[in-house]
Amino acid sequence: MAPLKLDPITYEKLKYELYCEKVGSSILEPMIRDIYIEDIHGSGLGSVYISHKIFGTVESTIVLDASAELDNFVLKLSEIVGKPVSHRDPIIDATMPDGSRLNIVFGEDVSRRGSNFTIRKFSSIPLSICQLINFGTMSSLLAAYIWMLLEEKMSIWICGETASGKTTTLSAITSFIPSDYKVVSIEEVPEVYVPHQNWVREVVRETSDAASEEQGSVSMFQLLKAALRQRPNYIIVGEVRGQEGNIAFQAMQTGHPSIATFHAATVAKLVQRLTNYPISVPKTHIDNLNAALFQSAVHDPETGRYKRRVLSVNEILGYEPADELFNFVEVFTFNPAEDNFVFRGMGTSYLLDSKVAVMRGYSGEEMRNIYDEMYMRAEILEYMIVLGILSYQDSLQNIRLVQRVGVEAAHKRYKEMAIAKLGSKIEKEIEGKLKTEW
């Protein structure tokens, strides 16, 4: 048989189709590669939907309207991740080759509109803290506050509803953890990025009932117990949902600070979930968690789109048995009318006054210096942004520079660089911006 001759355009088309089918994610490959698409939803028979960073939820041109076609496609997705789905094991959670999270529910007996799948895309390069500030997710002053807490081994949990950006924020703030710290992260699906060399990354292992004992499952609870024996400076839990939360609080009580994400919209809901089954943390132990940050997707009436914003940061003070009340201080709050943040903790922040300042040797009238340092760090972050230091690696390198040379020396350096590039007006502009929050 004579070889088939193809023109260059047809050859490239066939090459692309072959790549998508054999190496990539089949018909979803263009969506997987699109940096503006966050999630891909196949809700059953019919159209595939996407969650777009700019346009929100959009119906795509991909239609799977035959049961056999849909089941075959879902089966192909499961084979890509090495976990073939079946009627016996119809539900899988797995990680795709690019790091995206895949969830599949297979078969009409459990998914009445036909097999469904959801792909939550994951970027191998996370957003930086400077990018989050630039996007308006948080302010530079709020970021500076978190920076100071993490340098002094405070425990902080990022709370919010689904798709509020909790994991993105968690990955961004890990750049504030001193570079010589040992960090252990524990997740069901690997999503969190930690930039430290001394990073232990542990992932839950799930197996079917038919698996042998040697290949048994390893739960988050077991991994968290093991982490306590590894002498970490920080424990990061991808998402606290069950009894591992109780172990996390025991870890904090024994001097192992933690950062975690948690599904709760308010302090009241946070405490309610923590103190009830299955987490069951004693009420008197709640103050082992130093601070809780609450984040949400906020509707923008001008554009009709949603934007992620930190709604508040609360310091957890403890539980009063006599009054049966939990005490907390809201140190930052989001102002939706102005789309900015208000710092309410001036002179009233328990963590800054009674924890961070003491650890840094401040006393008496010097206590005020802790707020001056936070303001100076906020200015450093603002100068970094106007200098174009935005990417994760660039932000990380400069944050570590600040930690090496000291805040005052770094502030002077970045200020001089910004004035040399943009003129003396930039100093007043940044000062004016921060004063709206201060």
Q: What are the tokens at 167?
A: 């994991």
CA–CA separation, 269 vs 258, rounded Å?
20
Amino acid, res. 397:
Q
Provide the greatest CA pair distance for the chain.
92
* Residue 46 CA, distance from chain mean position: 32
Q: Would you state the pLDDT for residue 212? A: 45
Length of the chain in terms of residues written: 438
For each of the domains in the chain, give its residue range(s) and CATH number, in order of start. Answer: 12-120 (3.30.450.370), 130-207+214-357 (3.40.50.300)
CA–CA separation, 397 vs 403, rounded Å?
10
Tens-digit pLDDT profile for the chain (438 aa)?
667 788 888 888 888 888 877 778 889 999 998 988 999 999 999 999 999 988 889 999 999 999 999 999 999 999 999 999 999 999 998 888 888 889 999 999 999 999 999 999 887 789 999 999 999 999 999 999 999 999 999 999 999 998 899 999 999 999 999 999 999 999 988 889 999 999 999 999 876 554 444 467 899 999 999 999 999 999 999 999 999 999 999 999 999 999 999 999 999 999 999 999 999 999 999 999 999 999 999 988 888 888 999 999 999 999 998 888 999 999 999 999 999 999 999 989 999 999 999 999 888 888 889 999 999 999 999 999 999 999 999 999 999 999 999 999 999 999 999 999 999 999 999 999 998 887
Burial code (b: 16+ CB inside 10 Å, e: under 16) for 85-124 equals beeeebebebbbeeebbbebbbbeeebeebbbbbbbbbbe
Q: Would you state the pLDDT for residue 209? A: 54
Per DSSP, the three-state class of 383 is helix
| Tens digits of residue pLDDT in 281-300 | 999 999 999 999 999 999 88
Amino acid, res. 89:
D
DSSP 386-432: HTT--SHHHHHHHHHHHHHH-HHHHHHHHHHHHHHHH-THHHHHHHH
- Which of 122, 121, 145, 133 minimizes the C-alpha distance to 172? 133
Q: How many helices (H) and strands (E) does the chain have?
A: 15, 15
Q: Would you state the pLDDT for residue 1? A: 61
Q: Would you state the pLDDT for residue 322? A: 87
Q: What are the tokens at 163?
A: 């798709």
Which residues on neighbouring strands pair with residue 92, listed in sequence order? 104
Q: Would you state the pLDDT for residue 266? A: 96
